Amino acid sequence: MKLFYAPGACSLSPHIVACEAGIDLELCKVDLGEHKTESGVDYTRINPKGYVPALQLEGGEVLTEGPAIVQFIAEQKPDAQLAPEYGSLDHYRLLEWLNYLASEVHKAFLPLFWNGTDEEKARAKKSIARHFDHIESRLDTDYLMGDDFTVADAYLFTIAGWLDAQKMDTSAWPRLRAFQQRMSERPAVQKALREEGQLQK
């Protein structure tokens, strides 16, 4: 399988999940500004939406949208227990977290990434802070779903990393900071970061 990614983007989440599952992905870096792959291919021919991640399967099919991709990867290696059993209440709790992170928390950052006005950026930061207040209140265990890592944690780790990139004060969220530290120590996270050039080898 081939993962189309951009360093610092949300494509880090499925990359981490693949590393946790012990699945070696072929990586292809994408220039999101030019919509070109590192080999010069027009990325919109691979993913017409133009953004990462995209996962090209062995048969040539392309799967997009991070929450769908992380669930797909988890189901390739059920013994790794990266997601609750399908049909269980915890399975739907996982979907609840993935949808919240994708539709609310992730999207709240967009004005900060794509040249929003000062007013839009200020409004975005207030929205982001409200979301992380909620996440902080729920992080009373090591991970979002309890004591064990799930694919939702890879997504949260990725998004929460943008707080530092945007120089936002995280001192009000000590549980989140402890979570980020715990995640950063996981070998799979370190492997994914190294492979993307975000961590020294």
Share of the chain above pLDDT 90, in %: 97
Mean pLDDT, residues 82-102 = 97
Which of 161, 132, 171, 177 lies closest to 16 in space, CA to CA? 161
Cα separation, 98 vs 100, whole angstroms: 5
Mean pLDDT, residues 88-109 = 98
Cα separation, 155 vs 9, whole angstroms: 11
Cα separation, 169 vs 3, whole angstroms: 32
Q: Which two three-digit tokens encode residue 133?
A: 């207040």
Mean pLDDT, residues 115-122 = 93
Amino acid at 88: S
Domains 2-80+188-195 and 89-186 share a fold: no
Res. 149: pLDDT tops 90: yes
> What local confidence, expressed as pLDDT, does residue 170 receive?
97
Q: Which two three-digit tokens encode residue 104?
A: 């609310």
So what's the architecture of 2-80+188-195 in CATH?
A: 3-Layer(aba) Sandwich (3.40)
Amino acid at 184: S
For the chain, the domains span 2-80+188-195, 89-186
For residue 53, cis peptide bond before it (omega within 30 degrees of 0): yes
* Residue keyed to tokens 């409004």: 123
> What local confidence, expressed as pLDDT, does residue 175 receive?
98
> What local confidence, expressed as pLDDT, does residue 116 receive?
87
Res. 201: pLDDT tops 90: no
Residue 83 banded pLDDT, cuts 50, 70, 90? very high
CATH, domain 89-186, list 1.10.3720.10, 1.10.10.1100, 1.20.1050.10, 1.20.1050.140? 1.20.1050.10
List pLDDT tens digits, range 169-199: 999 999 999 999 999 999 999 999 999 998 8
Residue 200 banded pLDDT, cuts 50, 70, 90? low
pTM score > 0.75 for this model? yes
